[in-house]
């Protein structure tokens, strides 16, 4: 469904979900209050956001799961996968599925049958369900106990992402991990990023590997809850973090997640700009030459 206002769309979707209908809301910039209210109401609403990362990072503490996709295939797969994850009785949180590439982007992908999806998704069951014949109020919980519960739910989702991925692979024969390592195991220099630009970054890694340079890429797919294991796997390497958002006063959001685990980490920030393979080669060149941790604006 789509509405003129993001807040209206999310609120309408939450109402439909509360009445027992599975819902995917499409919006450009998800309204922060509407997302937070949906999370506090424990409603597993899926929100597809064609948006700049800058708008999405403002939502990282709302209690919603956040996933960045890099291809049409991954977008389709992620929607199906997270209907199942979010509707689990131990989760019941909204999920924002992000596309940060051009809206005119065209790419073929495999569409599985409706029956396969129905077999993968269990019947929707909510602890609270609105009944139009018996009007009631679906409350929003803002207590400390709820925030602690929300924190534990996110921890549980993070710990069980490998299980969710295995469930998906058994059914559809494609991986959907929380993060992807591309030529990282023997890499000396690793770029960490997310989203649409990851394909171009992979091309740059391939070019450098052909030149005999040990470059690698770590792509973060699930940003909330953040996969802490991803940072530990590259802790002994020279790392550059490319983010497309900035948190004034503390740097970029992704850099804050990675820097504490890496022995050497520099930050690149690109604001509303589409990068070429040449740009990524320049990032790796700066990383290789850097002797101090610093911030570069592209």
Position 246 scores a pLDDT of 93
Listed by start position, the domains of the chain span: 6-172, 179-297
- pLDDT surpassing 90 at residue 106: no
Position 35 scores a pLDDT of 96
CATH of domain 6-172: 3.40.50.970
Position 271 scores a pLDDT of 84
Position 136 scores a pLDDT of 57
Q: 31 falls in which pLDDT band (50, 70, 90)? A: very high
Position 204 scores a pLDDT of 98
Position 103 scores a pLDDT of 78
- pLDDT surpassing 80 at residue 213: yes
Q: Which residues contact 123 (CB under 8 A, 6 or more apart)?
A: none
Position 131 scores a pLDDT of 63
Position 141 scores a pLDDT of 60
Asked if 28 contacts 47 with a C-beta cutoff of 8 angstroms, the reply is: no
Give the mean model confidence (pLDDT) for residues 91-95: 96
Give domain 179-297's CATH architecture: 3-Layer(aba) Sandwich (3.40)
Give the mean model confidence (pLDDT) for residues 102-119: 86
Q: What number of H helices and E strands is found in the chain?
A: 11, 11
Q: How far apart are the first and last CA of the chain?
A: 36
- pLDDT surpassing 60 at residue 2: no
Give the mean model confidence (pLDDT) for residues 269-292: 94
What are the residues facing 264 on neighbouring strands? 238
User: How many whole angstroms separate alpha carbon 10 and alpha carbon 33?
Assistant: 10
Position 55 scores a pLDDT of 94
| Model confidence, pTM | 0.94
Question: Where do the H-state alpha helices sit in the chain?
Answer: 6-18, 32-40, 53-57, 72-86, 114-120, 144-159, 161-172, 198-210, 228-232, 253-258, 277-289
Q: Exposure of 271 by Cβ count < 10 A (0-12 exposed, 13-18 middle, 19+ buried)?
A: middle
Asked if 4 contacts 21 with a C-beta cutoff of 8 angstroms, the reply is: no
How does strand 222-224 pair with strand 179-182? Answer: unpaired
Q: Do domains 6-172 and 179-297 have the same CATH topology?
A: yes
* SS3 category, 246: coil
User: How many whole angstroms separate alpha carbon 70 and alpha carbon 98?
Assistant: 9
Give the mean model confidence (pLDDT) for residues 82-101: 96
Token pair recorded at residue 239: 């790392």
Position 137 scores a pLDDT of 56
Q: What is the mean pLDDT of the chain?
A: 92
- pLDDT surpassing 90 at residue 53: yes
- pLDDT surpassing 90 at residue 198: yes
Token pair recorded at residue 68: 């960045």
Half-sphere CA count of 103, side-chain side, radius 13 A: 8
Give the mean model confidence (pLDDT) for residues 236-252: 93
Token pair recorded at residue 13: 């979707």
pLDDT tens for each residue of 125-170: 887 766 666 665 565 666 778 888 899 999 999 999 999 999 999 9
Asked if 10 contacts 23 with a C-beta cutoff of 8 angstroms, the reply is: no
């Amino acid at each position: 469904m789509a509405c003129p206002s993001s807040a209206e769309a999310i609120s309408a979707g939450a109402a439909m979900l509360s009445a027992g209908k599975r819902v995917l809301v499409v919006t450009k910039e998800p309204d922060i209050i509407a997302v937070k209210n949906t999370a506090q109401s424990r409603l597993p609403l899926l929100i597809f956001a064609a948006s700049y990362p800058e708008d999405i990072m403002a939502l990282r503490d709302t209690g919603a799961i956040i996933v960045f996709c890099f291809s049409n295939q991954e977008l389709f797969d992620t929607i199906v996968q997270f209907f199942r994850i979010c509707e689990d009785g131990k989760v019941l949180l909204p999920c924002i599925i992000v596309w940060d590439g051009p809206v005119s982007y065209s790419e073929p992908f495999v569409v599985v049958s409706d029956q396969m999806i129905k077999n993968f998704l269990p019947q929707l069951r909510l602890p609270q369900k609105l009944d139009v014949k018996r009007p009631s109020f679906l409350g929003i919980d803002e207590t400390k106990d709820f925030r602690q519960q929300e924190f534990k739910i996110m921890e549980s989702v993070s710990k069980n992402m490998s299980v969710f991925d295995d469930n998906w692979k058994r059914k559809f024969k494609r991986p959907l991990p929380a993060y992807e390592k591309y030529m990282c195991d023997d890499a000396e220099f690793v770029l960490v990023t997310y989203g649409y630009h990851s394909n171009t970054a992979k091309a740059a890694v391939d070019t450098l590997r052909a030149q005999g340079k040990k470059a690698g890429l770590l792509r973060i797919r699930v940003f909330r809850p953040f996969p802490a294991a991803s940072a530990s796997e590259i802790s002994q390497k020279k790392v550059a973090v490319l983010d497309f958002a900035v948190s004034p006063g503390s740097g970029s959001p992704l850099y804050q997640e990675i820097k504490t685990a890496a022995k050497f980490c520099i930050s690149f920030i690109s604001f509303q700009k589409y990068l070429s393979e040449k740009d990524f080669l320049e990032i790796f060149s700066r990383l290789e030459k850097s002797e101090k941790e610093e911030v570069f604006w592209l």
